[in-house]
Structure 1
Amino acid sequence: MNLFVSVDKIEPWKYILNANIPELKLSKGIIITEKIKENLLKKGIFVIPIIKNSAIEYAVLRNELVEQSYNKVKEFWSSLYEKQKIDKDQFIDVSQDIAESIIDNFDDDVIYIPLKKLQNFDEYTYTHSLNVSIVATLITKAMGFDNFLVKKVSLSALLHDIGKSKIDINLINAPRGLTKEEFEQIKNHVKYGKEICYEQGIDDENIISGILYHHERFDGRGYLSRLKEEEIPIFGRIIAIADVYDALTSKRSYKGCWNNYKAVSHIIQNSTKMFDPDCVSAFVKVFGIYPPGTKVLLSDYRIATVIASKKDNELQPLLQIGNQIVVDLASEKSYILKVL
């Protein structure tokens, strides 16, 4: 049953749109932000159907922090494209805020990961950098690394694609498959990233290793160095998973996006091929087999949406059914029959 509320009374992040609004290109299921509220009111839409966003209670990051971090990352990349200069300290601050929030909340048994949603194709560079940092930081924390290294991974992941600023933006965003020669140019972004970091006074070898080696594969078939297994520095192995997960679940001008469940399944299936199995295990520990956002059919034929994963219990996540009913499968007789 739809709950209709006045747009100006909606608290951002706490509610989810429960209908499509084509004129604003808003899809059912999107979390309502302050910007979405503004756009609705400008368009003369004053009442909308919503459901409560129960996931927010289990977030490892406040949505406000995600939004603030996104705005800073966007400024950073704009400066990099226009002036070939970066505010290193500002970028470090963003990564540390992400890492510290995750460190503070990681001990909770139930977690929700609020990744930044892509609103248009031009945002991909910014949202991707931010999301990869969040996912890589979670993987590192789940692997038991000390907080000093967790913070370094957060920064390395935030910077992992910085070398793409030296490549023609039209090639980066080409709405088609690339030629062999064009792909060779793209591959050089890892090398350019290392060069930019050194130019800007970022010379920590752990941080550089994540930038330089996040496209290596566990089976040795990656680039540029074709390293394999433990030859690949651990930061590269961790960021590789975060990079692929966000890329698969993001819509681009030349491809659609996968749902979260399909992307997680792909990463599990490629353990020992593309990815370090220990890193994959840590990834599954925080995302679960059924990551947040996955729609499922239960054995009693109720339809539900996964809202949070449970550490060390990958098969029994928290679900939301209808407007506000939250179900913990660990205390239910029902189970997930299939993914919808």
Structure 2
Amino acid sequence: MTKKWVTMGDVARAAGVGKITVSRALSTPQKVSAETREKVEAAVAALGYVRDDTAGALSSQRSKMVGAVVSTLDQPVFASTIRGLSEGLAPEGMQLLLGTAQYAPETEAGLVATLMGRRPDAMVVTSSEHTEGTRTLLSRLPTVELWELPEKPIFAAVGFSNRAAGRAMTEHLVQTGRRAIAMLSTERPGDTRAQLRAEGYAEAVPGHAPRLLKLTPEPGQTGPDLGAIGLEWILEKWPDTDAVLCASDALGLGAFCEAGRRGLSVPQRLAITGFGDVEDVGDAGIGLTTIRIDGAAIGRKAAQLLLAATTGQALPETRIDMGFTLTRRASS
């Protein structure tokens, strides 16, 4: 079956009016009579008409679209960031085109090129590590890098210091009497955030003798899977470990469950911490000590910057630190 888009002419014929009248009824409904507006609206609903904004975008040089490439949507904190971004853009009629790079710079490069082909007004990325070609493309538009604070953003950055977060959690464990602190992280190309948290841990660990274990996820493995495996390996390599700092809540959840299976009391024998403050690890869940990031606030702040930039306003600052909160619970 041959399919075609319903045109404004189709709507005009169904409503018994001219194309100009249809355009007015859709763009400036207050300029047509209620009777005419009702006829046009009925025809639009019956035919399934979707307005073609391509011509308007070409004439105004505005597409009303923002391209967004996020590392993953598997983690709730990224989903909340996208929600905040979408909510912040919506009042101005801006829409998101979304892709996920799965922490791979090459995948990000392909997504950015595809999204740029749609001529967005601006771009958002949740990484500061890009291929040279990607960086060149992103430099052509207002681009906000989220979740990190690169020294020299392409345009602007909204995030927090992952290094400071890793250091703060390690200092917390030291202050609670832990001396044999290990860190469990994942090894993914392009995941600079985990690396920065590990650097913060290394700066604060007692004696600067890091016990750092990085695991590369295999296809089908979840964060909790890796957390359980990681705790097993840590205890085999460093049996006297009295605290495990996990680079994500998913890892922390897996480590917590594995500690229970081994009969290790938390936090008496072993303290376990996470990162992200997802719902399952809160006080109503396992009570995991973690770093809380307000992803929705990061998204909303990014939206503010993008709306200002796309309307020609000067930005008062281009590197915005949204901070983090160390939330202590029963696991430490």
Given the two structures, how large is their TM-score scaled by the length of structure 1? 0.33
Counting helix residues as a fraction of each chain, which structure ranks higher? 1
Structure whose alpha-carbon radius of gyration is higher: 2
